[in-house]
Structure 1
């Protein structure tokens, strides 16, 4: 029987975590069985257990990786009002609202994580702390405590607003939720909200 290198095994594990992340955000944890998850990457049920002891372990790995990627994107944003504005416009866009599979893990999975295993919740807790820290660094203008409070408010505002915009069936109400969230988020960030250009509005 062929032996795979450690690099190949790690690459396969990463591929499973990445694919499962998209599947979980689109269909939920309970709506994604192991057979479906491994079929997405061309593997068998038996191969799954060569990488994870259980589905709960995969969920925890997905939560950890999804949050780490999001934290890295926020941490790498250039300093300044323009980058914060651009991030908020993207996060609260129609495109992001309509793209569960490749969107924010918190907005897609938070209610499920709250009912998940302790290890998944611990992974999320650490990721949330890291995200709040990354946001705090962008908002810190000298008073880190105030910046941390604003960061927590901004983090929760964005997640909750995106969830609400996705939940309602009225397209106009959904758009108004996103627009109001942008204005409130800019205020929390200490930036005077501006009126998006026609092009930006069309992309939302």
Structure 2
């Protein structure tokens, strides 16, 4: 008996959740379809009922990873999603270690530029959403608020990416602190 649409959607979501987790931990080149499907508790053959290629899965998993990171952040922040709390959560040791959030913006930053347009479009949508989230608390006019939000997003994503790349724990902690202060400059920390 064939699966119904609801079961097929649930299977697709399991695959996407596994891919999002594995790609943000290991990157595109170090994760195969077999690993994704094993993590999802499914066979490799089931993969092709949902996706035509690993690249298609990667593109869709970027949005899934961003959504999961956003939901974890909302859960951690509760009703206080102020810029200060968002910044402190994003630029935290928990995020750096992967214990709290697996944001694809910082974790896949060097990998995305090597991928096809579909993958880069997915990353761009996630980045624009992140910038818009940051801009919501802006006091300036719309254009200036957007420019300030871009600047803050780059500082946050870049700071997190570099802190994860270096192996000097003290320097990484200082880097995260400097980035938090840079983003929150002029606001009470």
TM-score norm. by structure 2 comes to: 0.89
Match for residue 55 of structure 1?
54
Task: Give the unaligned 5+ runs of structure 1.
Answer: 195-204
Q: Which has the larger radius of gyration?
A: 1
SS of 1:40 mapped into structure 2? helix
Residue 67 of structure 1 deviates from its aligned partner by 3.1
Task: Give the unaligned 5+ runs of structure 2.
Answer: none
Match for residue 187 of structure 2?
191
1:131 corresponds to 2:127 = no
Match for residue 143 of structure 2?
145
Residue 69 of structure 1 deviates from its aligned partner by 4.7
Alignment map for 1:104-183 (pairs within 5 Å): 104-139=103-138, 141-183=139-181
Indicate if the aligned counterparts of 1:158 and 1:185 stay in contact, CA closer than 8 A. Answer: yes
Residue 126 of structure 1 deviates from its aligned partner by 1.9
Residue 136 of structure 1 deviates from its aligned partner by 1.2
Q: Which moved more, 1:70-79 or 1:16-25?
A: 70-79
CA 1:75–1:133: 2 relative to 1, 3 Å? farther
Residue 71 of structure 1 deviates from its aligned partner by 5.9
Match for residue 7 of structure 2?
8
Indicate if the aligned counterparts of 1:22 and 1:101 stay in contact, CA closer than 8 A. Answer: no
How many residue pairs get aligned? The number is: 188
Name the CA distance, whole Å, in 2 between partners of 1:132 and 1:158. Answer: 11
Kindly provide the CA deviation profile for residues 72-112 of structure 1, in whole angstroms up to 9, marking residues without a partner as x. Answer: 778997898x7221111111111111017942111110111
Name the CA distance, whole Å, in 2 between partners of 1:59 and 1:101. Answer: 21
TM-score norm. by structure 1 comes to: 0.83
Residue 167 of structure 1 deviates from its aligned partner by 1.4
